[in-house]
Amino acid sequence: MQIAYRARDITEAHIVAGLLEANGIEAFVGGHYLQGAMGEIGAAGFSNVHVDDDDLYQARQLVIEYEASADGSSSRVTDEDDDRPDHYARWFLLALAIVGLLLFQIY
């Protein structure tokens, strides 16, 4: 078995393993017990996705496509200013500052 993907955490490892299995590649996620050694803090870098030696090339190609699609989808979300949560926070802080200035002028 070879390491096809080194995940940031156990959840991402299972996502990639599911992607590989959906494409007919048997995958094994390792590192479950190593992550628990850090306690409640989410440890990173201990989770790996393993595949058979014969499936390594195809698995890495699928992982490259997965990473490319993950990068592309995040850039579309950040282009729209109105959907970002901090957009509303800016308006709230501006309104709060105006009310504060008005109250400061009254008293």
Q: What are phi and psi of 52, to 5 degrees?
A: -65, 155
Q: Which domain holds residue 12?
A: 2-106
Number of domains in the chain: 1
Q: Is residue 23's pLDDT more than 50?
A: yes
pLDDT digits (tens, 9 = 90+) for 33-91: 665 555 555 555 678 899 999 999 999 999 999 888 876 544 333 344 444 556 667 77
Cβ proximity of 57 and 51 under 8 Å? no
The reported pLDDT for the residue numbered 50 is: 93
25 has a pLDDT exceeding 90? yes
Q: What is the 3 state secondary structure string of the chain?
A: CEEEEEECCHHHHHHHHHHHHHCCCCEEEECHHHHHHHCCCCCCCCEEEEECHHHHHHHHHHHHHHHHHHHHHHHHHHHCHHHCHHHHHHHHHHHHHHHHHHHHHHC
